[in-house]
Amino acid sequence: MSPLQPPPLNTTTNPLPRPPNVTNPNSSQKTDTILCLHGYGTSSSILHLQLRALATALAEHNLHLAIPDAPFSVSAPGPGTLPAFADGPRPFRRWHTDATLAKLFGVSDQVVEEERGKVKEVLRESVKKVEEEGSGRVVGLLGFSQGAGLAAGICMDPELGGGVEFVVCVCGLYPALRLGVGEEKTDVGGRINLPSVHVLGARDGWKGQGVKIMEEYFVQEKVRMVECQIGHEMPSRPKDVAAVVNAVLEAWREAQEAQARQQC
Instruction: List the catalytic residue out of 69, 98, 204, 240.
Output: 204
Cβ atoms of 210 and 171 within 8 Å: the answer is yes
Q: Is the dihedral of CA 252, 258, 262, 263 positive or negative?
A: positive
Out of 43, 44, 73, 145, the active site residue is 145
Helix 52-59, helix 238-263: angle, nearest 10? 50
Verify whether residue 240 is a known catalytic residue: no
CB 46 within 8 A of CB 85: yes
Amino acid letter at 241? V
CA atoms within 13 A on the CB side of 197: 28
Residue 145 annotated as catalytic = yes
d(CA 183, CA 206): 27
Is 236 labeled as catalytic in the residue annotation? no
Q: Strand (E) positions, 62-191?
A: 63-68, 72-74, 92-94, 138-144, 166-170
Catalytic one among 38, 73, 232, 240?
232
> Catalytic residues, which ones?
145, 204, 232
